[in-house]
Amino acid sequence: MFNEAYDLKADLNICMQTLNSEKFRELLNLARIDLYKLTDHLGFNIFHDIASCIIKEEKLAEYLEILKKAFVERYPDDWQTMILPMLNSQAVHDRNSPLHCAILNNRKKIIEEFIKLGSNFRLKNVHGQNVMHLSVIAGNIQLLAYFKYKHGMPINELDNDGKSLLHLAISNNNEYILSLLLTWIDDLEIKDKEGRTPLHAAVLSREYYLVRSLLVAGAKRKARDNSGVTPLDLAIQNGAFELIRMLKEPLVICKLNPCQSPLKPMEKTFSAYILYIFIFVSRYGLVFYFMLPHYPVHVIIISCIIFIMSFLSFFLVSCMNPGYLYQKPDQDLLTLYEKIHPEFLCPKCIVKRTRTTKHCQHCGRCVDRYDHHCPWIRNCVGRKNYRVFIWFITICLIDFTYHIVISLLEFFKVFHSEFKSFESNSEFHSAATLMICIINFICMLFIIPVVYIQYTNILRKTTTHERFAYHKENRSTFISIDITNMPSASETTERASIAMKEANEFENFQKMRKDSKISCWKRFKKRKSSNLSLSTVIEKSLINDM
């Protein structure tokens, strides 16, 4: 009886692989054994075979429906009772159920049908891995979201080796799944049996983006495993120089760098914003009190105009919406993953991203055509406030330059009027004027690089993020998460035209080779029929060609 069941199961497998659904149906209808006995000695039943077969999922769904109808026809009253033990049957060696096999083979429709039929999605295999672990191993972010949101599967369970979902995502070098898990999991210091955190695993994988994502999320650089080794120690041992630079603690001054944010959790603070306001008010207070009384009216008017424009531009650029992307009411993460590739989806904001969109770690929002986050204005610079920002930095440069000039003129008493209110304390007045000049000069040193970068960005038609963001030179994944490296439409068109030109040249070359072969064959036949020497035939052919 066992051999008969084994033979029938083998025949059914052949029918599936050869896409013979009629024969598959016929074998089931004519089977003399009970269908629930279609299991081999390794514990694999017919449902395991359907989940593991390497044909299109649409055809597999058809075979599953045929099998289901065969059970219904043979056991009309208790067909579900007959199917359920087979769906929850686990193989002898790896303890994988048919549902586990379907997950490992990325069969979403089959998975949904198995669950409808009563498959237990909380079973674990021999490694202590449930459907969430297997979804990560299979690299299927859609299934991961499906089991989390549709069936409420936990995200903090560990396998027999103490590995979390984060460890498995890193072991499989899946940056998209890691990005999603970082929005769900707060504890980044989960350790496996060897005491290694996800950051240890990322350093061992030598994957740039994985290490960067964990550091930005707040992974501890000084975490130690059971041997007392830190992630930095692992990077040094492996000679991963790029990772060594990342794993060193960022300097305090890095927080004020608008081109590159430090690799650590960042918050939207008021410190730089308040400092700028304090410098702005102090600088103009000194100018209005010490300098302007000694200048002609037109100089005072120009200073007042610059003051008003500086204040308005600062107020506007700091309060404007830079281009935040908002989640639509009818959008959820599971639906978006079914329609959009994970590269173009932000799991934190649950929005579709474009090529120039980036999630700002300071604001915690996705910004359209993200340029950078400026701590001085306490706001991002994006599509909607970029022009105002250019106006702001240009006015600042004019402001600082103008007041450096007039403070020097005041220091050397070029424009002194007859009324000298500070004649009694001229030394203090000169010191205050010199201080104004120094303050404006220091401020100008900060603004000149920003102005240079932004105007070169305009000329290059790019953004600061695209130019100065952390990039990984060698990617192991097929599609890069760093979507700023994707070619533009013009570059794509240019590449297509070059490829078409090369294809045409190759086609012409092949045609010439073919014509040459035909010509040589004709010459050979002519020589053979006329009994002429080869050199004579070639000579005559050359004369004819001329």
Half-sphere exposure of 93 (CA within 13 A, CB side): 4
| Lowest mean pLDDT, pick from 113-127, 374-388, 497-511 | 497-511
Render pLDDT for 95-104 as a digit per residue (tens, 0 to 9): 999 999 999 9
Residue 543 has pLDDT above 50, yes or no: no
- At 457, the pLDDT band (50, 70, 90 cuts) reads very high
Report yes or no: 118 and 80 within 8 Å, Cβ to Cβ.
yes
Report yes or no: 368 and 383 within 8 Å, Cβ to Cβ.
yes
Residue 126 has pLDDT above 90, yes or no: yes
What percentage of the chain reaches a pLDDT higher than 90? 52
> What amino acid is encoded at 416 in this protein?
H
CA 483 remoteness from chain centre: 7
| Lowest mean pLDDT, pick from 24-33, 286-295, 439-448 | 286-295
Q: What pTM does this model have? A: 0.75
- At 192, the pLDDT band (50, 70, 90 cuts) reads very high
- At 266, the pLDDT band (50, 70, 90 cuts) reads confident
Residue 312 has pLDDT above 50, yes or no: yes
Residue 444 has pLDDT above 60, yes or no: yes
Strand partners, 359: 366
Residue 335 has pLDDT above 90, yes or no: no
Helix (H) or strand (E) holding 303: helix 297-319
How does DSSP assign 308-322, residue by residue? HHHHHHHHHHHHS--
Q: What is the mean pLDDT of residues 522-534?
A: 48
Render pLDDT for 47-83 as a digit per residue (tens, 0 to 9): 999 999 999 999 999 999 999 999 999 999 889 999 9
pLDDT for the residue 103: 96
How far apart (Å, rounded) are the C-alpha atoms in residues 47 and 64?
Answer: 8
The CATH architecture that domain 1-126 belongs to is: Alpha Horseshoe (1.25)
Task: Name every residue whose Cβ is closer than 8 Å to that of residue 332 and which is 6 or more positions away in sequence.
Answer: 149, 350
Q: Count Cβ atoms below 10 Å from residue 407 Cβ, excluding itself.
A: 24
Backbone angles phi, psi at 16, to 5 degrees: -65, -45
Residue 351 has pLDDT above 70, yes or no: yes
SS3 at position 346: strand
pLDDT for the residue 122: 95
401 to 142, 315, 396: CA distances (angstroms)? 56, 21, 8
| Lowest mean pLDDT, pick from 99-103, 405-409, 473-477 | 473-477
Q: What is the mean pLDDT of residues 315-319?
A: 93
Q: What is the mean pLDDT of residues 80-95?
A: 93
Task: Name every residue whose Cβ is closer than 8 Å to that of residue 201 and which is 6 or more positions away in sequence.
Answer: 166, 167, 170, 171
pLDDT for the residue 533: 47
Tracing tokens 């989960």 back to the chain, one arrives at 190
Task: Name every residue whose Cβ is closer than 8 Å to that of residue 287 and which is 6 or more positions away in sequence.
Answer: 303, 403, 407, 436
Report yes or no: 120 and 71 within 8 Å, Cβ to Cβ.
no
pLDDT for the residue 361: 87
* Alpha helix segments (H runs only) across 172-296: 175-184, 198-205, 208-217, 231-238, 241-247, 271-286
Q: What is the mean pLDDT of residues 105-123?
A: 95
- Comparison of pLDDT for 137 and 416, the residue scoring more: 137
| Lowest mean pLDDT, pick from 50-54, 314-318, 355-359, 468-472 | 468-472
Task: Name every residue whose Cβ is closer than 8 Å to that of residue 296 and which is 6 or more positions away in sequence.
Answer: 415, 417
Domain range annotation of the chain: 1-126, 271-468, 502-545
pLDDT for the residue 252: 56
- Comparison of pLDDT for 406 and 21, the residue scoring more: 21
pLDDT for the residue 496: 44
Residue environment code for 445-464, b if the CB has 16+ CB neighbours within 10 A, otherwise e: eebeebeebbeebeeeeebb
| Lowest mean pLDDT, pick from 10-14, 194-198, 252-256, 517-521 | 517-521
Q: What is the mean pLDDT of residues 87-94?
A: 93
Q: What is the mean pLDDT of residues 463-468?
A: 86
Residue 485 has pLDDT above 50, yes or no: no
Render pLDDT for 152-175 as a digit per residue (tens, 0 to 9): 999 999 999 999 999 999 999 999
- At 416, the pLDDT band (50, 70, 90 cuts) reads low
pLDDT for the residue 434: 85
- At 491, the pLDDT band (50, 70, 90 cuts) reads very low
pLDDT for the residue 546: 43
What percentage of the chain reaches a pLDDT higher than 70? 80
- At 483, the pLDDT band (50, 70, 90 cuts) reads very low
